[in-house]
Amino acid sequence: MTERAAVTAESVYKVFGQGAHAVHALENVSLSIQQGEFFTLLGPSGCGKTTLLRLIAGFEMPSGGHILLDGQDVTDLPPNKRPVNTVFQSYALFPHLSVRQNVGFALKMQGRPKAEIDGRTEQMMALVKLESMADRKVAQLSGGQQQRVALARALAPQPKVLLLDEPLSALDLKLRKEMQVELKRLQTETGITFVFVTHDQEEALTMSDRIGVMSAGKLQQVASPRDIYTAPVNRFVANFIGETNLLPVTAAKGGYQLGCGVIVSADGNGSTLSIRPEQIRVADSKAKGAIEARVTNLVYFGTDVHAHLELGDGAKMVARLPLPPGGDTGLMRGSNICVDFVPGAARLIGE
């Protein structure tokens, strides 16, 4: 018997306003998120990812379509009748209450027995490693500690799905990276389905089991982080996830021809070739598929150098070249070199 999906969106759309001023926030979105999955909705501001999260939570009603949680149609249910909890960007903690009181608040509001509240609260504080701060007011905590309290409070009632609306955006870079590891640990240990919203591609790639990339109210691609990165389906996904070079090609005998005349091999479908900067390497001029290029700029990044290249037809590429021992690639601005692509790395994509 197939396990029911934790979250299902069936042909969901959402329109704000009417007539000429109507905004189509979501356009016919269908999605299935599995039990125990860490799923991320990724995209730029205004793409519809937060709107979809709010529809799952029940804070907004869809203009059409259905939302199912664990197989049950909850489209018309209010938020408090849905087996979900939400961690907001602002955390929404009670500053006058202690860590313990904040964590146990939702359980208290549900009328749980005191023994259950106390036991579950202690368990959650241990999970987020805040036992030693149990009696401290949340106003006395750092941003990272406050976020842990918000997570513990949301997890305490044991929701079937935890929704997270860009909860790391207010943290500094170092703390954000630490919390990425912590979030994944919490999700793994609890086994709860996490639906995470972010515009940060690194967060999505490092934490997610699967990613749904969104643009203009539509799901562009749903796949594992590896497949999203190595096999983007269109220009938007290729450009939004990491850095890439996009080059027009035409079908030719033995492969696909670049504007400079060199024939290369590539998988996929479309008339644009996508190649990641780290998949470009310096090659011997006599090697098959070698592409002549002029170095227009070199940018030092510590572990590697980004070589900005101009091909014979004027097309531009960036190659990310690792620095050898001694830290010198031997390249110079204005010099001519040859490069090629790592076998199997080039990808044909559509618009």
Higher confidence at residue 171 or residue 203?
A: 203
From 160, 180, 179, select the one nearest 85 (Cα to Cα): 160
Where is pLDDT greater, at 224 or 129?
224
**Worst-scoring range by mean pLDDT, 18-22, 51-55, 89-93, 333-337?**
89-93
**What structural domains does the chain harbor?**
7-235 (3.40.50.300), 244-349 (2.40.50.140)
What torsion do the CA atoms of 332, 334, 337, 342 make, to the nearest 10 degrees? 80
| pLDDT tens-digit map of 132-154 | 999 999 888 888 888 889 889 99
Burial class (CB in 10 A: 0-12, 13-18, 19+), 144: middle
Q: Looking at residue 2, what is its pLDDT?
A: 56
CA-wise closest residue to 162 among 189, 195, 209, 185: 195
Edge-to-edge strand order for the sheet containing 218-223?
84-87, 161-165, 193-198, 38-42, 210-215, 218-223
Q: What are the helix (H) ranges across 79-197?
A: 99-109, 114-127, 143-155, 173-190
Mind listing the pLDDT tens digit for each residue in 328-343? 778 899 999 999 999 9
Quote the percentage of the chain above a pLDDT of 90: 69
Count Cβ atoms below 10 Å from residue 241 Cβ, excluding itself: 21
**Band of the pLDDT at 173, cuts 50, 70, 90?**
confident
Backbone torsions φ then ψ of 319, nearest 5 degrees: -110, 130
Q: What is the CA radius of gyration of the chain?
A: 25
pLDDT band at 1 (very low <50, low <70, confident <90, very high): very low
Task: Concatenate the DSSP letters of all residues of 229-296 into one string.
Answer: HHS-SBHHHHHHSS--EEEEEEEETTEEEETTS-EE--EESSSEEEE-GGGEEE--TTSTT-EEEEEE
Integer Cα distance of 52 and 222 in angstroms: 15
Quick one: pLDDT at residue 35?
A: 96
In DSSP terms, 298 is beta-bridged to 307
**For 177-196, what is each residue's pLDDT tens digit?**
888 888 898 899 999 999 99
Nearest-angstrom CA–CA distance, 272 and 350: 6
**Mean pLDDT across the stretch 20-49?**
95
Q: How confident is the model at residue 326 (pLDDT cuts 50, 70, 90)?
A: confident
The whole-chain average pLDDT of the chain stands at 92
270-310 per-position pLDDT tens digit: 999 999 999 999 999 888 889 999 999 999 988 899 999 99
User: What is the structure's pLDDT at 231?
Assistant: 92
CA distance 64 to 14: 7
Residue 267 reports pLDDT greater than 80: yes
pLDDT tens string 213-245 = 999 999 999 999 999 999 999 999 999 998 999
Mean pLDDT of 85-89: 87
Burial of 331 (0-12, 13-18, 19+ CB in 10 A): middle
Considering the entire predicted model, what is its pTM? 0.89
